[in-house]
């Protein structure tokens, strides 16, 4: 599953890091950043992004008249049911993840899938909690794409200072790109709000060491192109090409990430790289160690338990 991500880069960096070649092009191009579809929902950089937060989403511009081939736009994490009335974040359902096993029959997900509302969630990585010895004890880990030798995925400067050119494209660290679906919800004020869910599946043998569920990772440009090309690739074809990946790596991080209110730069650092561990522990303790923010149970159309 996926209940927390790191999205701590500038908008323009995400555009560079998701650059691509069109079929007829010899040079790389960047998706354009478009904020106007969710005017009142601004993306804010964070190493500890949680459901109901706003994150960068890659979509096909063909779904939006006049837009280029691919665009990046902010969307709310956790699909808002179209029948919901009230505030966008109080519909009472956990929809940050969508099970691939039920996607074609789900009341919430089947319609946007059929309508070609496929998207890609871009991030530096996501967090998962591994159960350890003892009741209720879990260790958080940061999961990300394998990087070139010497590149630290948590080093923001490595991302922001990386080179981009039309000839060679993006020369920086590798983003994690996850398959998802999105939908449009209309508020009582008549405002259109775009929101999304991440598709999950049974884990690969390797990743099952951490968790029995894994997000659907789009590992290469061909998968990315096919997932976004809803006119050429049907919904059934797109779903059938998703497989649990073994091409991920991870390390243990501090428990400060357990609380989604903690936005420290230390959230996605290996424990060994945190300079002042006592200060980090104190921050976690003062924040109340919010256990509810672990979000480690599968989130498919299930009511959240009352506190």
pLDDT tens sequence across 183-209: 999 888 888 899 999 999 999 989 998
The H or E element spanning position 111 is: helix 110-114
Give the position of tokens 């009352």: 306
DSSP secondary structure code for residue 61 in this structure: G
Mean pLDDT for all residues in the chain: 87
Residue 275 reports pLDDT greater than 80:
no
Residue 307 reports pLDDT greater than 60:
no
Give the position of tokens 């990386």: 162
Give the position of tokens 């004890």: 137
Query: Active-site residue numbers?
Result: 2, 128
**Cα–Cα distance, 162 to 164 (Å, whole number):** 7
pLDDT tens sequence across 97-136: 999 999 999 999 999 999 999 999 999 999 999 876 566 6
Residue 94 reports pLDDT greater than 70:
yes
pLDDT score of 175:
98
**Cα–Cα distance, 82 to 184 (Å, whole number):** 7
Residue 275: phi, psi to the nearest 5?
A: -70, -55
Helix and strand element counts for the chain (H, E): 6, 17
Sequence-ordered list of residues with C-beta below 8 angstroms from that of 163, at least 6 positions apart, any chain: 171, 172
pLDDT score of 238:
97
Residue 71: phi, psi to the nearest 5?
A: -135, 155
Residue 264: phi, psi to the nearest 5?
A: -60, 150
The H or E element spanning position 164 is: strand 164-165
Half-sphere exposure of 41 (CA within 13 A, CB side): 21
**Cα–Cα distance, 190 to 139 (Å, whole number):** 43
pLDDT tens sequence across 57-73: 999 988 765 677 899 99
**Cα–Cα distance, 123 to 56 (Å, whole number):** 8
The stretch 156-180 carries a mean pLDDT of 96
Residue 241 reports pLDDT greater than 50:
yes
């Amino acid at each position: 599953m996926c209940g927390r991500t790191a999205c701590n880069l500038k908008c323009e960096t995400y555009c560079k890091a998701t650059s691509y070649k069109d079929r007829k092009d010899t040079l790389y191009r960047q998706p354009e950043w478009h904020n106007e579809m969710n005017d009142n929902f601004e993306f804010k950089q964070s190493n500890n992004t949680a459901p109901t937060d706003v994150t960068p989403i890659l979509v096909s511009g063909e779904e939006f008249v006049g837009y280029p081939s691919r665009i990046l736009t902010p969307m709310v994490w956790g699909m808002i049911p179209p029948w919901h009335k009230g505030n966008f974040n109080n519909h009472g359902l956990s929809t940050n993840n969508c099970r691939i096993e039920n996607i074609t029959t789900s009341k919430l997900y089947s319609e946007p899938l059929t309508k070609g509302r496929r998207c890609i969630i871009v991030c530096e990585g996501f967090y998962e909690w591994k159960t350890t010895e003892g009741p209720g004890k879990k260790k958080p880990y940061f999961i990300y794409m394998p990087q070139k030798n010497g590149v630290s995925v948590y080093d923001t400067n490595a991302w922001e200072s990386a080179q981009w050119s039309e000839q060679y494209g993006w020369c920086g660290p590798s983003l994690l790109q996850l398959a998802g679906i999105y939908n449009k919800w209309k508020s009582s004020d008549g405002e259109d709000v775009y929101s999304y869910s991440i598709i999950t599946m049974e884990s690969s043998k390797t990743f099952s060491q951490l968790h029995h569920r894994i997000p659907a990772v789009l590992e290469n440009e061909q998968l990315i192109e096919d997932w976004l090309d809803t006119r050429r690739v049907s919904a059934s074809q797109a779903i059938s090409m998703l497989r649990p990946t073994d091409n991920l790596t991870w390390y243990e991080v501090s428990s400060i990430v357990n609380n989604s209110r903690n936005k420290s730069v230390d959230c996605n650092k290996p424990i060994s790289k945190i300079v002042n561990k006592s200060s980090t522990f104190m921050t976690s303790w003062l924040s109340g160690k919010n256990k509810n923010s672990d979000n480690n149970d599968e989130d498919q159309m299930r009511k959240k338990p009352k506190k």
